[in-house]
Amino acid sequence: MKNVLNVNDDYDFSLLGISCHAKDYRLCWEINKALNVDLEKQHYIFSEKQSDKAFSNAAYFDEENHIDYVLISNKNEGGVLIPEHSQLDYFIKIQGPQHEFIAEDSRSALLNIDFVLAVVELNPSELKSKMNLIF
């Protein structure tokens, strides 16, 4: 008899893609002001297929609303985290209760940042490389 373990990853979060040419620390500073959060630099994350490629990220947990924010760089000198959206420079992953509403408000606030060129909402479950967003 063979036992099989099926693991279902949780893609219950909102994902915003950001196009801008600013460095991650500059964008992080502006996002902190725009969203009234306190993103802090974290350890690098690695893509699933290319474990030698590290991508910078910053995170913040809003204890009052139980919302987790993670800003992830999509590009580094060695490649792209989400290849099907290589034109995007960063992603913001928003996870928690009512993340859809918070993502919608966040999108509007992010568009008010001077050097942000575009903000798009993405469906994480439709991405081919969605496993790179689970960490």
pLDDT at 46: 60
CATH architecture, range 14-133: 2-Layer Sandwich (3.30)
Burial 67-89 (b: 16+ CB within 10 A, else e): bebbbbbbbeeeebbbeebeebb
Give per-residue pLDDT as tens, 43-85: 766 655 555 567 888 999 999 989 999 999 998 877 888 889 9
Distance, in Å, from the CA atom of 23 to the CA atom of 21, rounded to the nearest integer, reads 7
What is the DSSP code (8-state) at residue 97? T
pLDDT value for 18: 96
pLDDT at residue 135, as a whole number: 62
